[in-house]
Every structure is written in C-alpha cells, then in structure tokens.
C-alpha cells in the first residue's frame, strides 16, 4: 500500500507527460500555419506572374512574340518557365491566354488566367489540404497598338 501511495505522489516525469500531451497539437498548429503561408505565397506568386504575362502580351515583349506578333506557345512557355523559377510546377493546361478580349466591358485587352492545384508538403498533418485547393489568378492589360 505504501509503495502505491509513493508511486502516485511521485512527480518525476510529469513534465515529460505534459509535453507529450501538448506537443502533437502544437506541432499541427505550426505545420498548418506554415502550409497556409505557402499556399498564400503561391497564390501571390501566381497573381504576379499573371500580371507579368498580360503585360508581356500587351506591350509585345520578346518573351511573348514571334516576329513582332503575339505567340500563344511562346507566352505559355515563358509563363511555365517563370513559374518553375518560383517553385510552382505549371502545365500548359493551367494557363489560359487571350490576346484580344474585353475586360470589365472595355475591349482591346489581353487576359491571362492561371490555375494551380496546391499540393501540401504535409498532407497527413494538414488534412484540409489533402485534395489540394485550386488557386486561381487572372489579370488584364491593355494591348498597345
């Protein structure tokens, strides 16, 4: 009986037990915060890239033109290359480009739309991102003539 009382009064290891109870939820919060930050950064990177691509078409930069005229293939290749530099693996199907369209009711604009399914680096921890949210970015820029 005395040994049992001594066992229940013994405080050695209490800190280890408390840490074990708190560590898992704390780790999940930290990983979730990092993954949310990565998703937000990816969204912003895609938006910046869409703006740059629309501008590239609008002012006919060499990245987006062949022999002085707009080239869909060259534009998509440039966007994919720039996205790869940012760590966002895009495919041709992720990029929609229109060199002559309307934007908010005004004609003469180039539009670029980029979509990407975000993949979590820790899908077992951040279960909300297992299927991957689809991030979308779009931009308009007036075409210079």
Q: Rounded to whole angstroms, how far apart are CA atoms 66 and 60? A: 9
Instruction: Identify the pLDDT of residue 126.
Output: 60
Instruction: Identify the pLDDT of residue 84.
Output: 94
Instruction: Identify the pLDDT of residue 56.
Output: 92
The candidate with the shortest Cα–Cα distance to 49, out of 28, 80, 26, is 80
List 117's β-bridge partners, or say none. Answer: 134
Instruction: Identify the pLDDT of residue 120.
Output: 79
Q: pLDDT (tens digit, 0 to 9) for every residue of the chain, 145 residues total?
A: 777 777 667 767 778 788 888 988 888 888 888 888 988 999 999 999 999 999 999 998 888 888 878 889 999 999 999 999 998 999 999 999 998 899 988 999 999 999 999 887 776 666 656 667 889 999 999 998 7
Instruction: Identify the pLDDT of residue 54.
Output: 94
Instruction: Identify the pLDDT of residue 128.
Output: 59
pTM of the full predicted structure? 0.79
Domain ranges of the chain: 15-142
Instruction: Identify the pLDDT of residue 53.
Output: 94
Which two structure tokens, joined as six digits, stand for 93? 């199907």
Task: Quickly tell me which residue has 């629309």 as its tokens.
Answer: 54
Three-state SS annotation for the chain: CHHHHHHHHCCCCHHHHHHHHHHHHHHHHHHHHHHHHHHHHHHHHHHHHHHHHHHHHHCCCCCCEECCEECHHHHHHHHHHHHHHCCCCCCHHHEEEEEEEEECCEEEEEEEEEEEECCCCCCCCCHHHCCCCEEEEEEEEECCC
Instruction: Identify the pLDDT of residue 16.
Output: 79
List 97's β-bridge partners, or say none. Answer: 112
Sequence length of the chain is 145
């Amino acid at each position: 009986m005395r040994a049992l009382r001594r066992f229940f009064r013994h405080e050695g290891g209490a800190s280890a037990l408390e840490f074990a109870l708190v560590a898992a939820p704390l780790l999940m919060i930290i990983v979730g915060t990092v993954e949310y930050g990565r998703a937000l950064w990816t969204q912003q990177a895609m938006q910046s890239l869409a703006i740059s691509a629309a501008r590239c078409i609008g002012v006919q930069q060499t990245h987006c033109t062949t022999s002085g005229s707009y080239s869909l293939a060259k534009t998509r290749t440039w966007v994919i290359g720039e996205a790869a530099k940012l760590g966002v693996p895009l495919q041709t199907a992720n990029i929609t480009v229109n060199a002559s369209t309307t934007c908010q009711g005004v004609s003469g604009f180039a539009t670029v739309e980029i979509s990407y399914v975000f993949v979590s680096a820790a899908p077992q921890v951040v279960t909300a991102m297992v299927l991957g949210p689809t991030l979308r970015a779009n931009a308009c820029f007036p075409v210079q003539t």
